[in-house]
Amino acid sequence: MSGVESDTAGNRTSGSGHRFLTPSVITLKDCAVKIAVVGTGYVGLVTGTCLAESGNDVICVDNNEKKVQTLNEGRLPIYEPGLLELVQRNRKEARLSFTTDLQSAVRQSRLTFIAVGTPQSDDGDADLSAVWAVAKAIALALKDVPPGPPGSRVVVVKSTVPVGTNARVAQILAENGCPHVDAASNPEFLKEGAAIDDFMKPDRVVVGVRKPEVAEALRELYTPFLRTERPFLAMTPESSEMTKYVANAMLATKISFINEMANLCDKLSADINDVRRGIGHDQRIGFQFLFPGPGYGGSCFPKDIRAILGMGRKVGQPLGMMQAVDDVNEAQKQVLFQKVRAHFGDDLKGKTVAVWGLAFKPRTDDVREAPALVLIDSLLAHGAAVRVHDPEAMENVRATYGDKLIYCDQPYGTLEGADALAIVTEWQHFRTPDFEVMRRLLRTPVIFDGRNIYDQKVMDQFGFTYYAIGRGKRK
Q: What per-residue confidence (pLDDT) applies to 423?
A: 98
pLDDT at 138: 98
User: What CATH number does the domain located at 333-474 have?
Assistant: 3.40.50.720
Residues annotated in the binding site for NAD(+), as ranges? Answer: 62, 67, 118, 160, 192, 303, 368
CATH architecture observed for domain 246-330: Orthogonal Bundle (1.10)
pLDDT at 20: 30
CATH number of this structure's domain 4-235: 3.40.50.720
Going residue by residue through the chain (475 aa), what tens digit of pLDDT does each one get?
A: 444 444 433 444 433 333 333 333 334 444 435 899 999 999 999 999 999 999 999 999 999 999 999 999 999 999 999 999 999 999 999 999 999 999 999 999 999 999 999 998 888 788 999 999 999 999 999 999 999 999 999 999 999 999 999 999 999 999 999 999 999 999 999 999 999 999 999 999 999 999 999 999 999 999 999 988 899 999 999 999 999 999 999 999 999 999 999 999 999 999 999 999 999 999 999 999 999 999 999 989 999 999 999 999 999 999 999 999 999 999 999 999 999 999 999 989 999 999 999 999 999 999 999 999 999 999 999 999 999 999 999 999 999 999 999 999 999 999 999 999 999 999 999 999 999 999 999 999 999 999 999 999 999 999 999 999 999 755 4
Question: What is the Cα 303 distance to its own chain's centre?
Answer: 10
Number of H-type helices and E-type strands within the chain: 18, 18
The reported pLDDT for the residue numbered 120 is 87
pLDDT of residue 26: 38
Alpha helix (H) ranges present in 109-236?
A: 129-142, 165-175, 195-200, 212-222
Rounded distance, CA 450 to CA 374, Å? 13
CA 215/CA 265 separation, integer angstroms: 49
CA distance readout (Å), 271 to 277, 283, 359: 10, 21, 26
Q: In angstroms, what CA-CA distances link 3 with 65, 80, 221? A: 42, 34, 20
Domain spans of the chain, in order of start: 4-235, 246-330, 333-474
Task: Note the pLDDT of residue 123.
Answer: 80
Whether residue 178 lies in the annotated active site: no
State the pLDDT at residue 165: 97
- Asked whether this chain's domains 4-235 and 246-330 adopt the same fold, the reply is no
CA 299, 84, 36, 97 torsion-angle sign? positive
pLDDT at 473 (0 to 100): 56
Q: Please pick, among 50, 60, 300, 408, the residue that the annotation labels catalytic.
A: 300
Amino acid in position 5:
E
φ, ψ (nearest 5 deg) of residue 461: -60, -40
What pLDDT, on the 0 to 100 scale, is given for residue 2?
A: 41
**Per-residue confidence (pLDDT) for residue 121, from 0 to 100:** 84
Binding-site residue positions for substrate: 189-192, 244, 289-293, 297, 361
